[in-house]
Amino acid sequence: MEKECTQCTMMVPEESKICPCCGKKFANQDKQGSIIMDTDKKCRYCAYCAMKIPKDAKICPHCRKTLVSVWPAIVIVGVGLFFIFIFIISGKNQTVSKHPPQNAPQAIQNNFNPPQGAISAKKPSEPQKARTAALSADEKVENFVKTALETGVVQKVELGFNTVTILVRPVFYTLDYDEKNATAAAFLRWARTREPDTDLVMLRDSRDLKAIGNYAEGLGLRLEK
């Protein structure tokens, strides 16, 4: 006679104490001869043949297929997708900031035209235009003078009695007349914020201190020949 294994459903000899297919251990028979099966262990179904097999079985006792857990693969794929997602998000948040150095002072938009040569600045953006419009005339002059000194158009400024002297560097000679005139006018306005009676700008070469010209309001820039 045969009996059915309650774990793998295979028919086994009635006197068997262990299922030859799934390794299930059988309990002792009761007085009526019925088999008391050990049902402590849980079962699962084979992914290939859909038969009931032990939960920890590595080979299906029915179709003999090797059973491989898919969880390690799922975990690896999940971790990979997570890092790809982080990489994409971080790439979107990165911004490239470009701050090219200014090679010349910005023009003063007051009573003279902006220079177009060595002292011309790059075309301002809309936010920069708004900030520039909000500056007072004195603040514009301060910015112009500061930039002229930083970019090497002017080496040094000296305040005297009713006079301001600026020592110009070789790059000053590369400017056209309008640019030179605008530079001198800006330095006169700058000097008047400190000495209100200043009415003359003296221009000298920074290399030999030789006078190269002067500027007065109403007369403009006069250069030595």
- Please state whether 186 falls in left (phi above 0), alpha (psi between -120 and 50) or beta: alpha
Which stretches within the chain are classed as H helix?
71-93, 126-134, 137-150, 177-192
Same domain flag for 70 and 149:
no
pLDDT at 112 over 50: no
Contact indicator for 171, 153 with CB cutoff of 8 Å:
yes
For residue 50, being part of any structural domain is answered with yes
Residue ending a domain, among 81, 115, 141, is 81
Res. 167: pLDDT tops 90: yes
31 in a domain, yes or no? yes
| Residue 114 belongs to some domain of the structure | no
pLDDT for position 204:
94
Distance of alpha carbon 90 from alpha carbon 82, whole angstroms: 12
CATH of the domain at 172: 3.30.300
Distance CA 46, CA 44 (A): 7
Q: φ, ψ for residue 168 (rounded to 5)?
A: -95, 150
Report the pLDDT value the prediction gives residue 70, as an integer from 0 to 100.
58
Give the domain extent around 65: 1-81
Number of domains in the chain: 2
* pLDDT (0 to 100) of residue 123: 61
Same domain, 141 and 210: yes
Evaluate whether residue 172 is within a structural domain.
Answer: yes
In a domain, 115, yes or no: no
Rounded Cα–Cα distance for residues 9 and 18 (Å): 13
Choose one of 81, 112, 136: the last residue of a domain: 81
The reply to whether 130 and 189 lie within a common domain is yes
Inside any domain, residue 102: no
β 200-205/163-168 pair status:
parallel
Q: Please report whether residue 112 resides in a domain.
A: no
Mean pLDDT in the chain?
75
* Alpha-carbon span 89 to 67, nearest angstrom: 38
Supply 73's token pair.
Answer: 């693969």
Last residue of a domain, one of 81, 110, 137: 81
Whether 107 has a pLDDT exceeding 80, the answer reads no
